[in-house]
Amino acid sequence: MTDSRGRRVALVTGGRRGIGLAVAEGLAADGLDVAITGTSPEDDVSRAALARLTAHGVRAVYIAGRVDAVEDHARVLDHVEAELGPIDVLVSNAGIAPPERLDLMETTPENFDKVIGVNLRGAFFLAQGVARRMVAAGPKGGRALIFVSSCSAEMVSLNRVDYCVSKAGLSMAVKGFAARLAADGIAVFEVRPGIIRTDMTAGVAAKYDALIEDGLVPAKRWGEGTDVAAAVRALARPDMVYSTGSVINVDGGLTIARL
């Protein structure tokens, strides 16, 4: 199915809330039709998210699916194409924190495998599936793969090294996709958020409030989903293709001050 108005189509994984929803809404505001995914069946949360997207005058669809279920990726991509058309922009945003925050010496294979399965393995093979379809479709402008990783790709947290490993691996995957797809005119980028106000950080909000006040983040504030969305929106522009492989830190200066 193609849109007679020529709108591009974006798929945002983990787009029901938080960073993913902020990104999806930003792309909708820029005129892209948007598909969002989540692990839950359609519910009030996903319906509210769709209402925010369609308020921008674009089409939007929610698809339940797990990023770590690689065997299910084709169904999800087929659904997007049937409802909206071929994917022009993939925003690989879905990710999880470790089920348990454990010291490096105490973490378990179960903890490690769960995080790697979603944050690295699942993200890699979903992007591979999208990229294969893009290449098979032939030359077309305005296509991009944008991976939302984390400052933890470089900064060590000893009580969640499994998470850091997943993001460091994802960063190398971005380089690989960028090098492989450059000649096909498909741009690939990595966006690295720092301390962002989300459900994932809600449990440690007081800790980070104090650290930010004490100068951990030069910008002296939390990052918001809209900060990440602003970076993704810029990278999704068709004229950004020659900047492929770029890494954008969305962290208020955290990493340049600390690394």
The pLDDT tens digits for 80-111 are 999 999 999 999 999 999 999 999 999 999 99
Full-model pTM:
0.95
Q: Which residues are annotated as catalytic?
A: 163
| Residue count (the chain) | 259
Tell whether the model's pLDDT for residue 211 goes beyond 60: yes
Residue 6 is predicted with a pLDDT of: 84
Look at residue 259 in the predicted model and tell me its pLDDT. 63
The CA-based angle 33-35-36, given to 5 degrees, is: 140
Query: How many CB atoms are located within 10 Å of the residue 44 CB?
Result: 7
Displacement of CA 207 from its chain's centroid (Å): 25
Residue 93: C-alpha distances to residues 55, 77, 207, 220, 257 (Å): 22, 16, 25, 25, 25
Q: How many Å separate Cα 217 from the centre of its chain? A: 22
pLDDT tens for 161-173 read 999 999 999 999 9
**Neighbour tally for 205: CB within 10 Å:** 12
Confidence of residue 73 (pLDDT cuts 50, 70, 90): very high
Q: What percent of the chain has pLDDT over 90?
A: 94
